[in-house]
Structure 1
């Protein structure tokens, strides 16, 4: 994968708004009923070579930011508002100088820092994690742990990350000996809170979970995983809703679709909440999806290919505001096993403009 081409819009994110944006009907039927999820597709997942990264901050334009560094995978995952917006290869501490696992906060930032321990070595876009020399910074990535304990990042990725972080943001450094598998092998959904604590998984079964009081205000992100048959609603980095998702037999995304809620309101009632009017939505096809296949998917959504409990749909609609984004994807929100590493948690797209104006 050419490192430059993969720096273009990466695409991951919110999903259920799709239900609302594209006529996903809220049916009374049990979401875990007769509808069957198709086998998980084998996607042409990109392979990140040393120095490669993926970056798409537009997927979650605002919200709290956390960073997960997987020492086992030699990757760093960036989450904003609970959804992945970037992933990068890294180089951590070499044998004898291992990067320590743990929960850290960014203590200091310096764009032009130089090491006071190792011959004034340049450490561009330094973000300090400890006062005894452990930091994130740009540097050489040979494809294996090679630093004196710091986490080296590709220079361009280090610059982008530096621009969006703040002092006090949480960084979790994980390995299999000290951390749970969901943190060591993350996916689309952030495995930790902004405080660095593991996020609880709500066993909703065929029903749903919703609690506005957990995070009353802030940006809302929705992740709809067809592969997991789950819908996740994040507000200000906190999970306020989760639901089972019924998927019609034969339906698959064959990639991912990003939707953005527009300001304009149509005169047609929403099928998620008949008491509300539909907003217009812009659809951005991502990996594996083109204009023709997206048009077919729209027709399937209108026929109820994706279903959630009606009460969950109404609560979701009420939480959405213009600018909200939704990611509909075949990819898992959470990797069940480390073996699923071939399913990349982030994607790319060359598409700068929507090719379909969806009218929910």
Structure 2
């Protein structure tokens, strides 16, 4: 009996220890909704949205501000302090999608370190998850969030949701700060081959390169190009003409339904909502009108191919930065969805 009780006590002790092995980081409750994001201290956060409310989500991570902003239908519903990659392990900038979700993930690289509410951005180990928040970049490349915020965000997002990691976080915002959109192989970091437009061609279209998944588009005003990526793989690009362009970088998300009056030679335009990214908060939730759509002229043949592919939650970034590979500047990492055999 003594041995039985001793064994039971040891078992309970082990269970208790295992249950306490995962720490909790950051504030337990949201700060008041009217708290300015700039006033948040390390570990503090704001959440104003029901986790399972309808509407497409998107997340902007500002490396400069060490904050992350969550949007639903273009409206800011949450903001949190974060800790991103330290020197030598910098968090990559670029346009990403959620590739994997794991509530109880443990690191395959760093001694099985807990990574609660993990939402994977790359197959080489970068993810959103709960973690330490000292008030400055300290991670090995991941985006650390307060535990309770990470839990709410995990419940609110879907696979394929767009996450933009930006180097700048104040006006003028340059979400797509680098000046080349070149997909990379996440297993080795090498550039994937991207075929440019042939001489005289107005567009290219290869949906079989990535048949399904979320779409992200980047439109460069100075380059007069729009590039279409699905799961981080380029499936098309086209020449465009932009008149009376907006200054800076602006983000838009596809919502349900179609514009009542905006058509292009019989083609219906989906509804778009402006994402109020940092520096353009006054634009949050504004419905894009026909006048703005008419500023962008796109080849009809290309429109016939891309419009049926767009779904609520797909994102367009319009920027006054150059994006063609022939320009100089750091590269924007766009990650594809093919996992390596062993992901960290």
Specify the TM-score bucket, using the shorter chain as the normaliser.
0.3 to 0.5
Which structure has the bigger radius of gyration?
2
Which structure has more relative contact order (CA 8 Å, sep 6+)? It is 1
